[in-house]
Amino acid sequence: MEEEDKVYFHEVSFIDKEGQLRTSKIPVVQELARQLKGLNHLPDKFKRVHPDHQLVTPSFALPIPTINMAKLRLVAEPQHKVRAQELAKLASVAKEWGMFLITDHGVPSNVLHGVKDVVKGFFGLPFEEKKASVGSYASVENMGYGRNFVKSEDQPLDWIDRLTMKAAPEGTSEGLHVWPQKPTNFRQAIEQYVREARKVLDDLLEVLAESLSLERHVFIQQFDTNESEINVRVNYYPPCPRPDQTLGLTPHTDASALTILMEFDTSGGLQVLKDQKWLPVKWPRDTLLVNVGDMLEIMSNGRLQSPWHRVVTQMDVERFSVALFYNPASLAEIVPVRNTTMEHESYKNVVVGDYLQHFYKISPTTEKVAIKFAKA
């Protein structure tokens, strides 16, 4: 077999409907895309029927609102008019969309560019070097290099390759070969970004509570500095010969409390379901996107809702994104804010690890059902 025709696979394990452990080989999409370049077909494993929600073209899509973090950090005068206006805007945007862009976030440009360099460096390696550089582990987090959310042989596959690492708490991945060894500064660049992004996430937890007229500490107090978790997921979407037949990422919510997402080189692909229509999400360079996750929906007792979103593929361009998923410690029990306007509470106390186990067990689903686990 010629080298360019060689088929590369990720191995995944799952429990089938009969309760038996199965192992399946999943094509490496990056290598598959190279072989299909210039062609007009997809392997059947990747074909799917799209949900019957109208796709709004970018020219008609409403822009995702932008929040200025510098305005929210004004401290000299707590009731400053500018800050109050931005808080009101944050409350409106977070309730309506469940996601928003942030500018003036404080993460240095050189840190963002450092992430871009190591991510592109890793995916620029030959497949054998990538596999030798990092391992793959089947667990709730699906850490390492490979695929996730594969539950059966006949499940339509997403057009994506990914890396997943746990960056916090410190030492959590000791003994696991989940951090790429190439480029040699990969871990250093990602961990530097995580440290900077965590400051933004902590600030957001406080101002989101404040914007909802809650005590400022009500969300962040559930995040122990030494035990809270940050998972990193690097997503690579190669060019796709038939974007009309597949998806880059299946519709889902995030199980996290907050997700912060950066992309580089190419915008487009991410879509959010709003008013039963899929709206494209695009954002400027060096701007980050923040996404409300299931955990924060539970904590806020439904005041904030985790949005249903997906990624579509693109024919002539590749797309990279890096998501940080911020959660309380796995053993922590999160407590919803009391809802004084309702006779009964909407959400119950939930142990973080229990919710994540449930989320990954039933995902992917065709609609937002995982959150029902936390319903009172």
CA separation for the pair 335, 343 (Å, rounded): 17
Cα Rg of the chain, angstroms: 20
**What's the burial of 339, exposed, middle or buried (CB within 10 Å: 0-12/13-18/19+)?**
middle
pLDDT at residue 22 in the model: 76
CA separation for the pair 292, 338 (Å, rounded): 19
What are the per-10-residue average pLDDT scores of the chain (376 residues)? 65 73 84 88 84 52 84 76 93 96 95 96 95 78 77 85 92 82 96 97 97 96 94 95 92 97 86 88 85 97 96 91 97 89 77 94 90 92
pLDDT at residue 319 in the model: 93
Phi, psi of 375 (to 5 degrees): -75, 140
End-to-end CA distance of the chain: 58
pLDDT at residue 60 in the model: 55
Tokens of 242: 């038939």
pLDDT at residue 2 in the model: 47
Q: Where are the beta strands (DSSP E) in 152-280?
A: 161-168, 229-237, 249-252, 258-264, 270-274, 277-280
Q: Global pTM?
A: 0.93
Peptide bond into 169 cis (omega under 30): yes
pLDDT at residue 80 in the model: 79
pLDDT at residue 340 in the model: 65
pLDDT at residue 258 in the model: 98
Tokens of 60: 């008609």
Q: What is the DSSP string of 262-275?
A: EEES----EEEEET
pLDDT at residue 293 in the model: 98
pLDDT at residue 356 in the model: 94
CB atoms within 10 A of CB 79: 7
CA separation for the pair 50, 226 (Å, rounded): 42
Tokens of 361: 């067990």
